[in-house]
Structure 1
Amino acid sequence: MLDWLPEAIRPEITSDILTQALFETIYMVAWSLLFSALLGVVLGVILVVTRPGHIMENRLIYNLINPVINVLRSIPFIILLVAIIPITRFFVGTAYGTTAAIVPLVFYAGPYIARLIENSLLEIEPGIIEAADSMGASKWQIIFKFLVPEAMGSLILSMTTATIGLLGATAMAGAIGAGGIGEVAISYGYNRFDDGTMFITVLLLIIMVQGLQTIGNIASKKVRRR
C-alpha cells in the first residue's frame, strides 16, 4: 500500500502496522476525550458559577478546585504518565498498553478542558445573566439554558483544541509503550533511523490535526449563525 511513496521516504514498516497504530491512536483519543470532557465540563462550570460574584458563589468550593486544577496542569504529561502509575494500575490493572494510557490522558486533559470551558463561559456578557435572572430563571436554568447555549460556539472550538492536545499527548504516550502512531515513530522511525517512517507518521498526525481543526471551525460557525 505504501509502494506509491518515493524511495527516499518510503517507510520500512508495513501498512498493517500503520493501520493498527492509527486505530490505537483513535481509540486512545476517543475514550480519553469522552472521560476528560465529562470531567472538564463539570469542573469548568463549577469554577465559573462558584467564583466570587457569580450566581452560585461559594469560596470554599472555588478555592478547593482552582488550585487542584493548577497543580495538575503544571505537571508535564510525560512526568504525569509515570507519577500516577499506581492510579492507572488501580483502574485498569496495568500501567502498560493502549488502554492504560487513557487514565493519564484523562488526568492531563480534564483540567485543561476545565480551563477552556471556564474561559469560554466567562466571555459571556453579564447582561445575559442579569436578563435571565430578571425573567425568573433558576440558577440551573441560567447555566443550561443561557450560559452554555450562548457560549456553544466558543465551547466547540475549545473542545477542538483539547482534542488536538490529546492527539499530541497520545504520541508522547507512545514513548512508554502505549501504542499508537507515537510508538511507531519512536520504535521504528527514531530507534531504527527510518526517515520514511518518521515522515509518514508526522504526515498522518498533520492530516489528523488539520481535519479536526477544520471540523471544529465549521461546527463553530454553524452554531454561531444560529
Structure 2
Amino acid sequence: MTSIFSADGQNVACTVVEAGPCVVTQVKDEETDGYRAVQLAYGERKEKHTSKALAGHFAKAKTTPKRKVVEFRDFRVEFEGGVAIGNEIKAGEVFIEGDFVDAIGTSKGKGFQGVVKRHGFSGVGEATHGQHNRLRAPGSIGACSFPSRVFKGQRMAGRTGGRRVKMVNLRVLKIFPEQNLLLVSGSIPGAKNSYVILEK
C-alpha cells in the first residue's frame, strides 16, 4: 500500500496492483463448451515445474508456462473481438482511470484467535471488582433449562482469516500502462505479492 494526493489535495490511501500482461489461453463458447468464457494466464513458471498436460495447453496458445490460470465467464460484448487464443491483454487496454473494480483474493491467515480479535467482543466487565483473567473471555454462550443447547452459529474463538474475500467498488486512481500497474483506492485482501482477481 501507498498513498497519493488527489486533485483537491486529499491524501488517499491506495494499493499498487500489477495487472498483466495476461495471455488468453482458451476461449470457450456455447457450441463446444455449453457456456461462454475466456481463460487468462499470468506470471512466469519454469518448465520443469509444469505438468505435461498444462505444458501442452500453454503450447497450444503459443505462450510460455504460466503460474496462475483463471477463467472468466460471460465476458462483456466489447471484449468479444480481443480475446483470441494467444492474445496478450494489458492493464491499459481494459481499465481506465475512474473505473470501479472488485478485488477478490485470499485474506491473511491469522491462526486460532479469541473472540476479541475474531469478532470484536469487548470482554467481560472491567479489571476491578474481583474480575480475574476474564478480560478477553467470551462470557455466557447460552441459556440453561431452555433451550438446553447452544444455538448454531454462535460466535466463538476459532481459525481466523485465510478466506476468499471480495472488496467491491474500489476506484482506479491511476494507471501506469508501461509497467501494467494500477493504483486502486483502499486496501485489498491478501498479503504482499499474493494473487488477486480484478473484476470490472
**TM-score normalised by length of structure 1:** 0.23
Larger strand proportion, structure 1 or 2? 2
Larger helix proportion, structure 1 or 2? 1
Q: Which has the larger radius of gyration?
A: 2
